[in-house]
Every structure is written in C-alpha cells, then in structure tokens.
Amino acid sequence: MFNLRPLFALLSILTVSSVGAQALKPYQPVTGERLLEQDSDSWLLYRGSYDSHGYSPLDQIDRETVADLEPVWSFSTGLREGHQAPPIVNAGYMYVATPQNHVLALNAATGELLWRYVRYLPDDLQQFHPTNRGVALWGERAYLATVDSYLVALDAVTGEVDWEVAVEDYYSGYYMTMAPLIVDGVVMVGVSGGELGIRGFVAAYDAETGAELWKTYTIPAPGEPGSESWPGDSWKTGGVPVWITGSYDPELNLTYWGTGNGGPWMGDTRPGDNLYSTSVIAIDPSTGELKNHHQYHWNDSWDWDEVAAPLLIDYEREGQRVKGLVHAGRNGYLWFLERGAEAIDFVDATPYVYQDVFTSVDSVTGRPEYDMSKKPGTGYEASFCPSLWGGKDWPPASFDPASRLLFIPANENVCSTMVGEEVEYSPGRAYMGRGTSENGGFYVRDGADHIGELQAWNVDTGERAWTTTFDSHNWGPTLATGGDLVFMGGTNDRKFRAFDSASGETLWEYPTNSGVIGVPVTFTVEGKQYVAVQAGWGVDAQREQNLINMSQGTNTYVPQGGVVWVFALP
C-alpha cells in the first residue's frame, strides 16, 4: 500500500494559499425550499429538479452565442473508467463524484480544489460498473453512495466524514453507483448487483444521524402482494436492482424509481411476471410504502433494466392534460403513463428504435405480448433488437417545457444474441446464467448506416420531431436549456456538443480528452452562465466499443481518464 498522506498534505497547503485569494462566499445550506426552487446559481439535484427534466431556463448561451463557447477551466481527476456524475453545484461550490468513490470539492468559477475525499476500497471488491453518478446535498453535507455499499455523509465545507453506514454487504454482491435522492432530510438510495443474485431495495436514512428509516424491497416476500409472481425461493436472489436516482412529485409526496431486470437473466429460471422487476414503482418517502407501480414488460430475458427514472411531465392527450410519467425504455418503447395517488395508469407506448420482440401492447393495460422465438432461455439461443443495452440505457433524457420536446439519447441498429446456461447461486458470485455467444453476443443490423441518435419527441402529439444520427454508438446524458439548446457527448470521438433544440443541428462541438459519458449541468456564478460536464470514457460505453470492434473489424480506440470541463462565453 502506498501512503497518500504527504500528497494530501501538499494539496491542502496549495489550497490554503488559493483560498485566501478567492471570494468564495460562505456555504449556503441546502433546504427543501431550495431543492424545489432550482436557483440559477446552483444545480442541486442529479437532474437539476425533482421532476428529472434535466432542464435549465438559463439562456445566455443560446443558439446564436453558442458558437463562441469555450473552456474556462478543467480539472483532471487522475482516475480511469466511467466518469458519469453531474458536477453538483451549490452557489459557487462544485462537488464532483468519480469512479473509485473520490469526491472533489471545487470552486465552481475557477476549478480550484477545496478538498478531496478518497475512499479506500476493499481489495476483494468486484466492480461490474466502475463508476459513480454523483453526490446529493442537504444542509451542510454531501452524501455519497459507494461501490462497497456504504452511505457516506461528508461535511460539504471541509470534506470530513461526519458519518458512514453500511447499506448492505458488498461481499454478497451489493454495490451502489447512483446519486442519492433527498426529500425533506430523508436520504434515499437504491442498490446495484442484479448480476450477482441480490434482492433489490430502496432504503432511506436520516440525513442528520444516518439512522435507517425504512427499507423497501423491489421483490415481495412470500405472502406480500405480487409474491405469486416469483416461484419458490427465487425472490431471495431475484435481482431487481435500483441504480438510478428517482424522481419526486411533491404534490403526491411520491418518489418514482425505475427497477432492473430479474435474475438470473433468463426468464425461464423464474416463471411469472416477477413483480416489481422492469417497472416504475412509486414509494412514499415518509414511510417507504410502495404505493403503486407499472410494469413495462414481464419476465425479462433480455437484460432490459428499466432503471432510468421516469420524467414527470404533464402532457396533452385528446384535449386533456395528463399528469404523466414519461420513460424511454431500454425495451425500445417510449412509454406515456399517468401518475396518481392510487395508481399508475397506462396511456400509450410507441417504439422509438427498431424492436423485434413485442408483437403487441395491450391498449388498456400496456402489457406487451412477445414473439417467443426472440426470447432467450436456458439452452435456447435467441437474437433480438435492440441489444441488451436497449434503445436507451441509463443516460438520462431531458425535457424542454417551452418547446414541449423530449430529447432521447438513443442507439439504433444494434442487437444481441443470448443463450442461457444453468447457474448455481453463491453469495457475491455472478448469477446471470448467460452462456457464450459468437462475437460476445452482439451484432449490428445489416445495412445499418449509423448507431447513435439524438431524438426529439413532442410529448403532446406523441410524434417524433427530428433525429440526429452518429456513426458511433451514443452513451451521452442530455441537458436542455432555455437557450434552445441540447448539450450531449456520448460518442467515441471525444466530442461534447450543443444542438439546436428545434432542428437537431449541431451548433457547437469541442473535442475533450476522452469520451463524454457524464451528465452535463449548467449554472451561474455572479450572473454568468457556465456549462460543466465530466469527460471520462469507460464502463458499458467502452464495453460496447469492444464488441463493435469485434463484430465490425474496426479498431476504434477511445482514451480514458477523467477531466471536469467547464465552458462559458468569452
């Protein structure tokens, strides 16, 4: 083991000399009101607001001025793998979470380091997804969900650990990559580990003390509603992780979470609908009660996690305003639902990429029927589109309430081949039961002229407005702004781009150090607008590139290494 302390001593000394020269104002505690208000000088939540719109009304950078956008500072994280977290900004203070669970606190205007938290991870840890998707702020603390399954509360001013609690045992396959969701001093996290035979849950902790408040499983135990959809003991190890931050509706006082697929991956190992897998679930943050749900598709066999949280969008249908949930599914369908206190109702669903599995979707319930020849099973190999990463994986869509457009970072023309094999459960060991298929079980459709897409859909008409295509696959989270722009990276050419939200035309692009799979944000400092994002290719984007190289005979190389980039007008 190497000793990091001298380095940190040096860093803190360097920090001292610069702090004196900064006009960094005293830290502003984060309150429930501030989380609802979305102050322009801050980006306090994973998607900027509880409705998960990923939208800011800021408009200094617009379709005219964006051509002049330039980097104002950057900061190297010194780490490899997936840099996916949004820089969370609170009135001048920026918090950046990285893979391997570091947190950097930076001066948002200058990039100067205020402190750095480094977690010593256990050496027997396995990381299916070496990434982290951000911190959450409350009061004077920053909260981090770690890959060794701890929830850590850091003093936002000093970086000191105020408390940490074990959420679950990492050795049994539980890990966390999401940004926590905080409502009224209740810190909620979900767990990853669907590949490792976990039983998924969302748990809540007191922001002040770290005391556990509730824990709600995504798989019912015998006797609970929905338990009849799991045979035998399969509920104990059935997966259904929750690894993306939920949305929150303050009026209904309900949080909405997307859930992952069941495990092992082959549906024939767990005959039944497997509630509440591949669903949206509504949980009361005060009590943890699971109030209602909608299952997008039953008995998954495609690894189509539906973990991305739905956007809370009120849209028009037949002259009526629907209080809605909108979700671009990994299963390739764009789902429009209605949210209420008692139920989540199906409204309509349309494929937004080529999908060859569903033969129909019931017009009342939304339940799909399958072409069973496209459903892999134990000892039965099947090919299906979209690929196991779906039409869209976790990278969040965004919504511009002015233009009524929803922006979806999609992948078209990529498909998977999968075959199941028998697998024994052993704590902490892979429990996917996926056999080996040619080319890693991945292929590009014949005649495909592109893979990546940015799509825009009008939520009121339910129709697609435009599509911009990329040769590369696309793993870019999106940001929409009042400047009629959409920001997104995601391609293998290292570029971070701004698109005209009305047409999809690329108005600006900048080649960064690595591929950009981080969530972009925008904020102001002293009235000036900035856009910030992490570059740092890795995880599934890199894995898909390997498979594209294998299947297409290409040799595309995307450099790794995390850098925080901040852009502004001159």
Partner 1 sequence: MTNRTTLDRRALLKAGLGVGIAIPTKSWAQPPNRARPQPGDWLVFDGGENSGQRITPDLLALEQRPVAALAKDPATSTLRDGSRLNRVMITRLDPTKLSEATKPHAAAGVIAFSAVCTHTGCDVINWVEDKLLMACPCHESHFDVYNGANVVGGPAPRPLAILPLSLESGSVVVAAGFTGRVGFTQQF
Q: Are strands 131-132 and 82-83 parallel, antiparallel or unpaired?
A: parallel
Calpha distance 562→71 (Å, rounded): 16
Do residues 530 and 522 touch, judged by C-beta distance below 8 A? Answer: yes
The C-alpha atoms of residue 53 and residue 293 are separated, in whole angstroms, by 21
H or E element at residue 6: helix 5-19
Q: What's the rounded Cα separation, in Å, for the pair 515 and 236?
A: 38
For partner 1, the closer CB: 185 or 462: 185
Which residues contact residue 112 at a Cβ distance below 8 angstroms, ignoring those fewer than 6 apart?
Answer: 15, 18, 19, 22, 106
Rounded to an integer, what distance in angstroms lies between the CA atom of residue 80 and that of residue 404? 37
Short-list 183, 90, 192, 77, CA closest to 142: 90
**Residue 98 · residue 106 · CB < 8 Å:** no
Question: For partner 1, which is the closer residue by CB, 127 or 416?
Answer: 127
Token digits for 5? 């302390």
Amino acid at position 108, single letter: A
**Catalytically annotated residue among 303, 400, 484, 500:** 303
User: Which H/E stretch holds residue 35?
Assistant: helix 32-37
Mention every residue, 6+ apart, whose C-beta is less than 8 A from residue 397: 54, 308, 311, 326, 328, 406, 407, 408, 409, 478
**Distances, alpha carbon 564 to alpha carbons 54, 512, 536, in Å:** 19, 10, 9
Residue burial 171-186, b: 16+ Cβ < 10 Å; e: rest = ebbbbbbbbbbbbeeb
Q: How far is the CB of 25 from partner 1 (least distance, A)?
A: 8
Closest separation in Å from C-beta 539 to partner 1 = 8
Instruction: Say which DSSP state 65 is in.
Output: G
**Strands 55-56 vs 478-481: parallel, antiparallel or unpaired:** parallel
Q: Whole-angstrom Cα distance, residue 541 to residue 324?
A: 30
Distance between CA atoms of residues 489 and 161, nearest Å: 33
* Residues 389/411, Cβ–Cβ less than 8 Å: yes
**Residue number, 103 or 465, with CB nearest to partner 1:** 103
Core vs surface per residue 209-221: b (16+ CB within 10 A) or e: ebeebbebbbbbe
Give the residue with the Cβ less far from partner 1, 428 or 476.
Answer: 428
Binding site for partner 1 (CB under 8 A): 4-5, 8, 11-12, 15-16, 19, 25-29, 78-81, 100, 102, 114-121, 123-128, 130, 152, 154-155, 157-161, 164, 171, 195, 424, 426, 428-430, 432, 434, 436, 440, 538-539, 542-543, 546-547, 550
Backbone phi, psi, residue 5, to 5°:
-60, -40
Give the whole-angstrom CA distance, residue 346 versus residue 367: 9
Place of tokens 């997104």: 488
Choose among 300, 279, 308, 299: nearest CA to 291: 279
Q: Show the 3-state SS of 328-339.
A: ECCCCEEEEEEE
Which CB, 144 or 334, lies closer to partner 1? 144
| Shortest distance in whole angstroms from residue 557 CB to partner 1 | 12
Residue (170 or 230) nearer to partner 1, CB: 170
Tokens read off for 396: 């969040």
Catalytic, 303? Answer: yes
CA distance 147 to 259: 18
Instruction: State the catalytic residues.
Output: 303
